[in-house]
């Protein structure tokens, strides 16, 4: 994957930033696909092979994003954390409500564990995308 080049302003040199949001979007897409595959078997017990593979790849992509972010220097970290904090709060509440629906629907054992992990990735990915996008274009 190639790094993205921001548009330069007057007299600025274009800054190359890593593809954090692109990796997070792929991770989110894999999580959604895995969730849809599981939901397509409702109300029967879903096969977990492919959703678990998607979940593992998605988790690796989130981990790669975190590693990439920790290596960024000269970045608008204050804006990133301000946006990430509030977006994370909103998406944790949203994921919690979805989790409650699964629990009340009597989803049990391994399917619930896989869905819970997918919701955790969902609750981290979207705020990461939002906060990174805001911070990268912050002056």
* pLDDT, tens only, 41-60: 878 889 999 999 999 999 99
pLDDT of residue 10 exceeding 70, the answer is: no
- Write phi, then psi, for 7 (nearest 5 degrees): -70, 130
pLDDT tens by residue, 13-44? 567 889 999 999 999 999 999 999 998 887 88
Residue 9 lies in a domain: no
Q: Give yes or no for residue 99 having a pLDDT over 60.
A: yes
pLDDT of residue 3: 57
Radius of gyration of the chain (CA): 17
Give a yes or no: residue 11 inside a domain: no
Count, residues in the chain: 139
* Number of domains into which the chain is organized: 1
1: in domain: no
Instruction: Provide the domain limits for residue 31.
Output: 17-136
Q: Does the residue 12 lie in any domain? A: no
Cis amide bond preceding 43, omega within 30: yes
Regarding pTM above 0.75, the answer is yes
Residue 25 lies in a domain: yes
Instruction: Tell me if 106 is assigned to some domain.
Output: yes
**CA distance to 35, 118, 130, per residue, from 47 (Å):** 11, 15, 32
> Does 114 map to a domain?
yes
Residue 3: inside a domain = no
């Amino acid at each position: 994957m190639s790094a993205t080049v921001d548009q330069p302003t007057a007299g600025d040199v274009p800054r190359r930033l890593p593809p954090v949001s692109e990796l997070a979007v792929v991770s989110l897409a894999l999580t959604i696909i895995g969730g849809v595959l599981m939901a397509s078997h409702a109300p029967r017990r879903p096969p977990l092979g492919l959703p678990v593979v998607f979940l593992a790849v998605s988790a690796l992509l989130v981990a790669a994003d975190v590693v990439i972010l920790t290596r960024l220097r000269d970045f608008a970290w204050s804006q990133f954390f301000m946006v990430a904090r509030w977006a994370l709060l909103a998406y944790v509440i949203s994921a919690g409500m979805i989790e409650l629906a699964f629990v009340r629907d009597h989803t049990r054992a391994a399917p619930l564990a896989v869905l819970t992990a997918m919701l955790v990735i969902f609750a981290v990915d979207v705020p990461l995308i939002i906060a990174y996008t805001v911070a990268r274009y912050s002056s």
